[in-house]
Amino acid sequence: MDTETHQSGGTLRLVLLGPPGSGKGTQAKLLVDRFKIPQVSTGDMLRAAARAGTALGQEAKRSMDRGVLVPDATIVGLVRERLGEPDCSCGYILDGFPRTVAQAEALEKLGTPLDHVLSLEVPEDELVVRLAGRRTCRSCGAMYHVQFSPSRGDAVCDACGAPTYQRDDDREETVRRRLQVYTTETEPLVSFYQERGLLRRVPGTGTVAEIAQRVARALGV
Q: State pLDDT tens for residues 92-137.
A: 999 889 988 999 999 999 888 999 999 999 999 999 999 999 999 9
Instruction: Determine, yes or no, domain membership for 58.
Output: no
Instruction: Determine, yes or no, domain membership for 198.
Output: yes
Instruction: Determine, yes or no, domain membership for 71.
Output: no
Q: Which residues of 144-160 are buried (b: 16+ CB within 10 A; e: fewer)?
A: beeeeeebeeeeebeee
Answer yes or no: 167 catalytic. yes
Instruction: Determine, yes or no, domain membership for 80.
Output: no
Among the listed residues 34, 47, 99, 176, the single catalytic one is: 99
53: left (phi over 0), alpha (psi -120 to 50) or beta: left
Print pLDDT tens along the chain (221 aa): 344 434 434 579 999 999 989 999 899 999 999 999 999 988 788 888 888 888 888 888 887 777 677 788 888 888 998 899 999 999 999 988 998 899 999 999 988 899 999 999 999 999 999 999 999 999 999 999 999 999 998 899 999 999 999 999 899 999 999 899 888 888 899 999 999 999 999 999 999 999 999 999 999 88
Residue range(s) defining the domain that contains residue 118: 3-37+90-219
Q: Which of 35, 42, 29, 31 is nearest to 81 (CA)?
A: 42
Please check whether residue 13 is in contact with residue 92, taking contact to mean a CB–CB distance below 8 angstroms. yes
**Considering the entire predicted model, what is its pTM?**
0.80
Among the listed residues 29, 167, 171, 196, the single catalytic one is: 167
Answer yes or no: 134 catalytic. yes
What is the model's pLDDT at position 48? 81
The model's pLDDT over 129-147, given as tens digits with 9 standing for 90+, comes to 999 999 999 999 999 999 9
In the chain, the number of structural domains is 1
What is the model's pLDDT at position 2? 40
Answer yes or no: 178 catalytic. yes
* Cα 203 to chain centroid, rounded: 16
Tell the burial category of 39 from Cβ atoms under 10 Å away from its Cβ (0-12, 13-18, 19+). Answer: middle
Instruction: Determine, yes or no, domain membership for 31.
Output: yes
What's 122's domain CATH number? 3.40.50.300
Instruction: Determine, yes or no, domain membership for 97.
Output: yes
Please tell me the total number of residues recorded for the chain in this structure. Answer: 221
Instruction: Determine, yes or no, domain membership for 186.
Output: yes
Instruction: Determine, yes or no, domain membership for 19.
Output: yes
What is the model's pLDDT at position 10? 52
